[in-house]
Amino acid sequence: MAVDYAVIVIYLAGMLAMGWWGMRRAKSKSEFLVAGRRLGPGMYSGTMAAIVLGGASTIGGVGLGYQYGLSGAWMVFTIGLGLLALSIFFSARIARLKVYTVSEMLDLRYGGGRAGIISGVVMWAYTLMLAVTSTIAYATIFDVIFDMDRALSIILGGTIVVAYSTLGGMWSITLTDMVQFVVKTIGVLLLLLPIAVVKAGGFSEMKAQLPTEYFDPLGIGGETIFTYVLIYTFGMLIGQDIWQRVFTARSDKVARYGGTAAGTYCLVYALAGAVIGTAAKVLYPDLAHADDAFATIVRDELPMGVRGLVLAAALAAVMSTSSGALIACATVANNDIWSRLRGAVSREKDGETHDEVRGNRLFILIMGIAVVCIAIALNNVVEALTVAYNLLVGGLLVPILGGLLWKRGTVHGALASVTVGGLAVVGLMAWYGILANEPVYYGLLLSLAAYVVVSLATRPTDAAVLAAWRERLAGRGAEAEPEPESVPTPG
């Protein structure tokens, strides 16, 4: 295991070094929060794929393959479909807005700022719980690597992510995500996938050993697939963590084509995870927990050195999602909630750039400490993630997509939609249970009804607000952002 330990330690040290490098280049709010909006297609697609394919997609995707066979790919597959839909239909318009948060987009579209703080609170809760669930996953990985205590594992992994995120903001996160993307591609797709299939005797032996439903594309169940689409596909369209990556694109074409490449990569990754899990079922038919399949096959079947790289790939998957959710959570907390509560003007002024960076850096540190503490106290990852996505989809999907697609939508309709959808989801989760499907189904329908009815019952959005909105969608009207001369333009 000495070689494996060395690989992991070198990887973790590299993440911290990237944080230090990013700190030297994040000199403005734009550089710190959205990497100066200057990422080219290669770096953009790699970092976008890295953030959406986290621990749930890697460890959880293999676990679903172990439990259901090839149809276990559907969870990660729907994530890829959501990213494809976002990139093809919406990303160009989102990138041209030149904003920092989803709530700023709602303010531009509906006017008045009233929708911003409520949507900010909902988005903050979602990104916080997403960061927490990603951080909890460190316990599983470090337990396999170092046989480490759960709390200590969370503190170690969380501290490294908080450190490089706080130091360099989105620049550090972008650089580390590119490394993580490469490590995941090599570790999971090029090494673990073929080794797992060969160890299981090839596809013919897998088919001979397992029931036929393991090779049924719909074996996981139609209702489960529909729920995945509703939560993950639609969740990809509106999450702050995803939009903040769209804001980093150098142009709307980069956002569209780079995101499409990342979405396609997710589809391949989904199938790979399911195949690895299916192979693990042949090798270890009686595991107590399906989510143990990834760690077990890595520990028992991979040679020294390769094992360390694949474990680094799992760690990379968790870190990329964790850091992306953390900076999204801090951005929303500072720019959408704290700034509004204290009545601050949410634009950069001459001579205050350093204070903007320092303020956002402080919020990443505060949110990071909170995430680590909550992760230590919380046990049920699935319930926490379900609550996060139910709130996101039930409360924010309708007003966000309505604002992009329906000009008759009003600020009152948006506020009603967020309030009714959010409260309905919370109440229905208390009634049906957190893991039930009904809360997001009915919550989304009630949110849509409230949006349409209240929008039609109230005065249309002011013509001047809509005109300004159309200008921003066309890429005009946004304030120019200074670009430090020392920062190169990535490809």
CB 118 within 8 A of CB 418: yes
Alpha helices of 407-491 — where are they, by DSSP H? Answer: 411-432, 438-457, 463-473
Residue 464 has pLDDT above 80, yes or no: yes
Q: What is the pLDDT of residues 159-173, one digit of tens each?
A: 888 988 888 888 888
Query: Which of the residue ranges 67-71, 124-128, 475-479, 481-485 would you say has the lowest mean pLDDT?
Result: 481-485
Cα separation, 164 vs 157, whole angstroms = 11
Q: Sign of the CA dihedral 267, 40, 100, 330? A: positive
* Number of other CB atoms surrounding residue 117 within 10 Å: 15
Name every residue whose Cβ is closer than 8 Å to that of residue 121 and which is 6 or more positions away in sequence.
337
Mean pLDDT of 77-95: 93
Tell me: the pLDDT tens digits for 328-382?
Answer: 999 999 988 888 777 644 444 444 444 678 888 899 999 999 999 988 887 666 6
The pLDDT value given to residue 366: 94
Q: What CATH number belongs to 1-342+359-379?
A: 1.20.1730.10
Q: What is the DSSP letter of 60?
A: I
Position 312 scores a pLDDT of 82
Of 108-112, 199-203, 311-315, 351-355, minimum mean pLDDT range: 351-355
DSSP character for 459?
P
In the prediction, which pLDDT does 211 show?
Answer: 92
What per-residue confidence (pLDDT) applies to 489? Answer: 45
Q: State mean pLDDT over 271-294.
A: 92
With a CB cutoff of 8 Å and minimum separation 6, the contacts of 176 are 15, 18, 19, 164, 319, 320, 323
Sign of CA dihedral 327, 332, 333, 335: positive
pTM of the complete model: 0.86
Q: What percent of the chain has pLDDT over 70?
A: 91
Q: What is the pLDDT of residue 126?
A: 87
Compute the distance between CA of residue 109 and CA of residue 105 in angstroms, rounded to an integer.
6
Report the alpha-carbon distance of residue 56 to residue 308 in Å, rounded.
20
Q: Per-domain residue ranges for the chain?
A: 1-342+359-379, 382-476
**Could you give the CA distance from residue 326 to residue 363 in angstroms, rounded to a whole number?**
10
Rounded Cα gap, residues 239 and 90, in angstroms: 13
